[in-house]
Amino acid sequence: MKKNLLFFLILIAICIHGKGSFVDANPAIVEEVKLEKEKVMIEVLFKQRSKLWNNLYNKNMEKDQWMEQLKNIVREPLLSFDIEAFEEACEYPTDMDKVLDLKIIDIENIIYNGNVMEATTKICWTMQGLTAKYEEEIDYRVVLKEENNQWKIADYTICE
């Protein structure tokens, strides 16, 4: 009886080991493909927002026009912050480093909760300062919210 039980347990262990190895041959690839969608979406939104901020110093853009374009990219609470920063920049002009390019290097810990998506991202910023061009990699916790079937940046904070 003990031999039969031992044989049965060994057979179960082999089956479990085999299923863990052979059932889903490409789980990492499927996961990477899924993450690519979110990665591209976040990168496009950040690039659109950066372009809009860069236009602030390239052209004399009207506040109403700027805010309408911003509302297509950003939601509250970031929207209020951006509007306040825009008004301050118009009232007290100052030099601001220009975003030349940005790239999402890594994305992980994606959580969907209804119309809210949160993700940890590493963004490589290529910037033009007053004297030189430089690159900087920063980790962020990004929050997107869906509004009228369109994802927008609601908030982002630097990860510590």
Mean pLDDT of the chain: 78
CATH for 25-158, options being 3.30.410, 1.20.120, 3.10.450, 3.90.550? 3.10.450
Tell me the average pLDDT across 72-84: 89
Domain ranges within the chain, ordered by starting residue:
25-158
Query: What digits encode the pLDDT tens for the residues 115-144?
Result: 899 999 999 999 888 888 999 999 999 999
pTM above 0.85, yes or no: no
Strand order in the sheet with 98-113: 98-113, 116-128, 133-147, 150-158
